[in-house]
Structure 1
């Protein structure tokens, strides 16, 4: 893969294609329409594991007949040794709760540095099951917990214990045995912070790599556990699960507002993720050769994606309508992309005229899938130093020009209109989780989180224009002395002017804001699928469905689990 500067240089010139414009890409609804891709974190991690042939084995398996006990996996990579520790405990059904306020879970887990000896295991045993109420040390990278699927877990155990396979149609409705309700990392609760992990442990030096690995290990343990319980229950009749059915099981995830502020609080990092995705699309548009093989692959991926969407079940009418529209979009794209297809620009332009936002963005993911040689490797540039500098010497006329050019979207919003500032974001005292408050109903607005970037820019611009009338020749430093509370937003304005993307162009204080779009955007970078909104504030989804199993490590790897489909067994689904 070329270095990033060389890649960008290759796209310059009179015939080069620019990146998609910021006002198109950073539209909140479009961000919420993004899908998984080759550049999603799960895909990147699994590629690395498979190509580097990580050695993952069970160092301790101490489970009773009902699957309760302790399991330790040891992970040998080319650059280190790690352990994944799982505590499986009996949980009364009345105590099972997927909400963040829960205090007990079926499983609790930790990814740690090095080999776990008995004394350290005892320390983990005292703290990991407590989650937020416990305290771990800097050997721990990730802390997580998960609950069994009420619809699948016991059913799968029963089937295997009778010597039968689970019904694929039933699995398609809920494609997991466990769902995780939180995955903590980056220094929380005494864990190793990101600086330590990224600088000392290259295996997990990409964003959320350790967290994604914990979810992958949970998925594989869930398969081990159901087989263990089934075999113990009826050793004479027990049959192991078929590998193709195993691969169809993923891990469930429930994601709420806790994820939303990340996109606003890390604008430089989000810019980098978005820019790499857009750069990948620009490479495909510029250098992606189209021949009969590519046309066949495109048609197959469009058909697979349509079937995947048809197999995605949700009770949410809004999401059901979106899925149905995407299926229509994919059918239309198949017709449009027949033998007359000669360049990607025309197809992308056609999609922007005739397809929904979700259909358009799914097409982008599909195009990236066609050209791994152009796309894979851009993830090397996902990390970036996050700091927002204050340029105190910038003339105020220059600062005003930056706002007018970079934040014209914020200046166009009427923040005095009814409903434009009805919502405030705050952090709950019990679990320190983000929540939404209504200004007319809830108190505590004075403690709101600073997520209304658009409104902050708008207020800054008003005060700046007033100040410039009296002091047109002053620098930013003098303005900061007069208005010290604006230091944070001015620092952001100046710093983001060096980025292509970064700031979400939406009023996050409006009463009709859909936090679901924020969740969807970040989850697409994780690589999840099968979104099932439970409200506008939280969503269920599936991780690692279709991904290879631990026993697949060491075999030929085709990296072909994009938009996975229910397996067809013996010609009968």
Structure 2
């Protein structure tokens, strides 16, 4: 594995950090679900179900415990008999088919009783530091009923219906990091198994998938009695956990510039390392071709009704055809195969296709890539502090570097400031409104860093270059957040979106997909420009089948007929 270090260059933030490209990212080896699965398999985690007390109406409680080398974590699940008119994926819902918490350790009966009075209430309840996450899920009703009916009658469900939906339940929120009383991130950040971002939440979803499989089989036994059968393992494996994600997630990548930078930089570093390879072995080239073929199968069953995604999927399928034609004439063994492939993709494929290629070329190289996952957390507390001694000239230079595209834009033009982000009074959730049609401007959140950078840059004109920025901020404290972000850019070159987050054309789903791709989500299905459905863990082995051989490439399933 020979590399040419001189050619190891990450792509420019001006290329990577455009919303259209961020909205085309795919999962990769660094995605958080895959990191967790590799960890659990490598460390031979043990899984048990100490409690499954569900009645014939599908109501009750269950506990699933995952035990690693040093600690145990337990998903506590509460199943409910939800009436159809109460089922909603909206954040304003007040009842769900199932509710969950991830408990730090093994709960006592008293813990479960306490949580039974709070977890089903979600935001209206309270959990405490022994809980690491809070979540809820709703059934995909038609598929649920089909699977229960099929298993109850002694037959397997229709695979085409399984693939069309992909999940029996979808979560509508998975909260962690201190929300509603849960443990703060700092409590678990130094644990090796949870040091990579969102590992507790990903474990919660993984165990939720096991509970959903067990629950649907339980309901089939209730309905069919001795005639009922369980899901065939290959069919069960095709089922993931769905997720409905709305605007609440979109501001996250704006509000966490250093953390998001670390995610993007790790991926870009991985791509650069692979592109710097002078040659590829026969085995590495074969691995890439195999994964591409399996990815094609996954893309073939990826459907959406949203016009934007329909167009992107059409382009992606054309990209696959063009990629296969390219590979027919390139054995990927000659000089700099991956750099040449990525250069060709940049010239010939859509952003969807380019980012798929960027993810796939990482697959043959776990030794080059996987360790970067441990660089994706944000432990740089100093980055948040403003350096008041920095000269005005240097701050202006930093603003120009991160926001050069925005400084000449006319921010008074209605199309450039058409939207405003605010927080809803009812649910304290982010919302995006029409600035000129709704009385929301006085409630606007600082989620337009480009506009604010242009305003700060203009305000700095006339200030002496050598003056400390603290003098300016004493007179203009409204620009503190912009100066902070500009100074952060020294350690976070990928921390800023290079697009207008309040324009009349902004698509929040691009921000949602960027974050969800790092979770490891697949089959993005926007339902509007403001919320998206995805699938998680489809194809993943269940705990009883998890091995070091199958813990990783399940995300590219070998579809069975």
Q: TM-score, normalised by structure 2?
A: 0.96
Instruction: Give the C-alpha shift of residue 402 in structure 1.
Output: 2.0
- SS class of match (2:142): coil
Establish whether residue 309 from structure 1 lines up as the match of residue 309 from structure 2. Answer: no
Deviation at 1:556, TM superposition (A): 4.1
Name the structure 1 match of 2:451. Answer: 455
Paired position in structure 1 for 2:19? 28
- CA distance in 1 between counterparts of 2:346 and 2:548 reads 40
Aligned with residue 394 of structure 2, among 376, 393, 398: 398
- Distance change (3 Å), C-alpha of 1:49 and 1:251: same
Could you tell me which runs of 5 or more consecutive residues in structure 2 were left unpaired when the two chains were aligned: none
* 1: CA distance, partners of 2:278 / 2:208: 37
Q: Secondary structure at the match of 1:270?
A: helix
CA distance in 1 between counterparts of 2:58 and 2:192 reads: 34
Matches within 5 A, 1:393-432: 393-432=389-428
CA contact (8 A) 2:31 2:520 kept: yes
Q: Which moved more, 1:150-159 or 1:304-313?
A: 304-313
Q: Is the 8 A contact 1:89 1:107 kept in 2?
A: yes
Task: Please list, as runs of the form range in 1=range in 2, the aligned pairs for 1:92-171 lying within 5 A after superposition.
Answer: 92-171=83-162
Q: Distance in 2 between matches of 1:224 and 1:493?
A: 50
Give the corresponding residue for 1:537. 530
Partner of 1:514: 507
SS at match of 1:369: coil
Deviates more, 1:97-106 or 1:296-305: 296-305
| Greater CA drift, 241-250 or 279-288 | 279-288
Contact preservation (8 Å) 1:306, 1:326? no
Q: Report if the CA contact (8 A) 1:406-1:497 is conserved.
A: no
Query: Structure 2 CA distance, aligned partners of 1:486 and 1:317?
Result: 39
Kindly report the root-mean-square deviation, in angstroms, between the aligned alpha carbons of the 2 structures: 1.7
The number of aligned residues is 554
Counterpart of 1:483 in structure 2 is 476
CA drift of 1:364 comes to 0.6
- Is residue 11–residue 18 contact of structure 1 (8 Å, CA) maintained in 2? no
- Matched residues in 1 for 2:533 and 2:551: separation? 28
Task: Return the offset for 1:310.
Answer: 1.7
Question: 1:253, 1:542 within 8 Å by CA — same for their partners in 2?
Answer: yes
Q: Aligned residue for 2:308?
A: 318
Q: Contact conserved, 1:253 with 1:543, CA < 8 A, in 2?
A: yes
Match of 1:206 in 2: 196
Residue 375 of structure 1 corresponds to 369
The CA deviation at 1:527 is 0.5
2:357 alignment counterpart? 363
Q: Deviations over 1:477-532 (max 9, x none)?
A: 21122212212211111121232311111111111111111001001001111111
- Give the structure 2 partner of residue 46 of structure 1: 37
| Distance in 2 (alpha carbons) for counterparts of 1:345 and 1:412 | 34
Distance in 2 (alpha carbons) for counterparts of 1:264 and 1:138 = 27
1:6 matched to which residue of 2?
Answer: none
State the 1:295 CA deviation: 2.9
**TM-score w.r.t. length of structure 1:** 0.94
Kept in 1: contact 2:420–2:444 (CA 8 A)? yes
Distance 1:326 1:420, change over 3 A: same
Tell me how far apart the structure 1 counterparts of residues 278 and 259 of structure 2 sit (CA, whole Å): 27
Question: Is the contact between residue 151 and residue 174 of structure 1 (CA under 8 Å) also seen in structure 2?
Answer: no
Output aligned runs, 1:14-93, within 5 Å: 15-93=6-84
Partner of 2:557: 564
Match of 1:221 in 2: 211
Q: Distance in 1 between matches of 2:235 and 2:278?
A: 35
1:255 to 238, 245, 260: 245
2:489 matched to which residue of 1?
496
